[in-house]
Amino acid sequence: MWSFALRYRSANLNEITIPYRLRGPLRIDALEDALTDLIQRHPTLRAVLRYEKGQLYQVVLPVQRVALPLTALAGATAEECLAAVRAALTSSDRPAVNVISGPSTLARLWRLGEDDHVLSLQVHHAMCDGWSAGLMMRELALMYEARCDGSRAELPPLVQQYADVAQWEIETYESGGFTEEIDYWQGELADPPAAIALPAKGERKANRDWRALIEHVERPLQELDDLREFAKRLHVSSFSMYLSALAVLLRHHTGSEDQLIGVPTLNRWSEESLKFVGYASSLMPVRLRPLGDLPFDELCRRVQVSTRMMLACGRVPLEVLMRETPLTVSGNTVFRIWCQYVEGSAEGEPLFTRDLQFIPVATDRHSMLSELDLDLFGSAAGLRCEFSYRPSLFEAQGVRALMAGFLQILQIARSQPDLTVAHFSRRLG
């Protein structure tokens, strides 16, 4: 698949970590069997990459039974033990996956106390994306419950595997099947704007310090509902509204009225493609033009058109766009600013078996490719706004100011949707 390109350059960027707290009586043998079933069902979890004669290949290895190493932690409380697990998950000396020689998937288990454990799966990012992580844990819970009953989970067979979609993508591109989409992107990305240059404290050129920190704020459910209602009144999606506010914020700090923002997309286009584990996600561009005399509500409507076109033409992988358009790498990344909106909590939802709860464990983000990443989560708890950033480029105080400005723009826009983009800068000061 075109997304096989190894864009990740450090250990933290190379893998995705999936930790869950298991509350209840745990049968480790059944969990080992369930993990083995999961790896058997999804070949990417036991695959490695081979580079031969100028081509990158995925090689699927035979199934081997999973053996879970168990670490018993001693601490005054289970929460202190959980903090130790979080530290171990991001430690520089933790076991690492190996996409060349294997394994590309590792499982670890910690005992926090009686009937209280943490299971962590580490998977190479070339083999797994965020959608896959949720799919894996949902199926694992079903497989575990079945193994506890002495049987195997009756899941429908997979009609498509990752390799099938990868082959389809390559053949479609080589046969001209993406022509209409590529034509659109060649027009949309003609004469691309300069990379967004937020004032930074460090040099961007050759900066390979991928360390990341997060500033976040929680807003109440009523505010989230008000923003949803505001987007409905404008006849746009919540995401288009948030992107418009981000565009106004970036214009305020950089003066740029032509911006390219990276948007992570699922890139799974059939019901069957939602059922396999693999790195199918793509990063797509949205071009934003927050012109000074443009009213905010009109900006939202234009952004809505851009996001719809991005999704309609989103089958084309980013690697193809970089071949077919002037899109290039700038400062070690294609898009310096990323943004996404998710309906759901940042950590995901708990899973339940008859005797065991699978509860997502929140971990800190320690690395990133972009310079600034805005992640928004709307759930029953309210709105969570996260600004991830690279401390080699930005100070925490400056990022907190960006976050406050973003929320202020949304507040002003709700009461004055026809206010021009330029007027927002005067209000922000």
Q: Do both 214 and 321 map to the same domain?
A: yes
Tell me how far apart the alpha carbons of residues 59 and 63 are, in angstroms, rounded to a whole number.
Answer: 13
Q: Within a 13 Å sphere around the CA of 370, how many CA atoms are in the beta-carbon half?
A: 24
Q: Which residue has the tokens 């409905």?
A: 232
Q: Within a 13 Å sphere around the CA of 336, how many CA atoms are in the beta-carbon half?
A: 17
Q: Do both 384 and 280 map to the same domain?
A: yes
Tell me how far apart the alpha carbons of residues 19 and 299 are, in angstroms, rounded to a whole number.
Answer: 40
Maximal CA-CA distance, the chain? 68
Query: Model pTM greater than 0.85?
Result: yes
Q: Do both 182 and 149 map to the same domain?
A: no
Q: Residue 76: what pLDDT?
A: 78
Instruction: Give the angle subtended at the CA of 94 by the CAs of 138 and 334, to the nearest 5°.
Output: 75
51 is in which domain, residue-wise? 2-155
Q: For residue 282, what is the domain's CATH number?
A: 3.30.559.30
Query: Is 171 contained in some domain?
Result: no
Q: Do both 336 and 222 map to the same domain?
A: yes
Query: Is 35 contained in some domain?
Result: yes
Which amino acid is residue 291, in one-letter code? L
Q: Do both 117 and 207 map to the same domain?
A: no
Host H or E run for residue 225: helix 221-234
Query: Is 353 contained in some domain?
Result: no
Q: Do both 26 and 134 map to the same domain?
A: yes
Handedness of CA 373, 374, 375, 381 (dihedral sign): positive
Q: Do both 332 and 299 map to the same domain?
A: yes
Helix, strand or coil for residue 57? strand
Q: Do both 148 and 185 map to the same domain?
A: no
Q: Do both 189 and 282 map to the same domain?
A: yes
Domain count along the chain: 2
Query: Is 223 contained in some domain?
Result: yes
Q: Residue 287: what pLDDT?
A: 97
Q: Do both 188 and 95 map to the same domain?
A: no
Query: Is 239 contained in some domain?
Result: yes
Tell me how far apart the alpha carbons of residues 250 and 406 are, in angstroms, rounded to a whole number.
Answer: 9
Q: Could you say which of 125, 155, 185 is where a domain stops?
A: 155
Q: Residue 13: what pLDDT?
A: 66
Q: Could you say which of 155, 188, 208 is where a domain stops?
A: 155
Q: Could you say which of 92, 124, 155 is where a domain stops?
A: 155
Q: Residue 125: what pLDDT?
A: 86
- pLDDT beneath 50, residues of the chain: 1-12
Q: Which residue has the tokens 């896959």?
A: 132
Query: Is 168 contained in some domain?
Result: no
Query: Is 423 contained in some domain?
Result: yes
Encode pLDDT of 334-363 as tens digits: 899 999 999 988 778 899 999 999 999 988
Q: Do both 277 and 341 map to the same domain?
A: yes
Q: For residue 8, what is the domain's CATH number?
A: 3.30.559.10
Q: Do both 342 and 225 map to the same domain?
A: yes
Query: Is 169 contained in some domain?
Result: no
Peptide bond into 103 cis (omega under 30): yes
Quick one: tokens of 252?
A: 């305020």
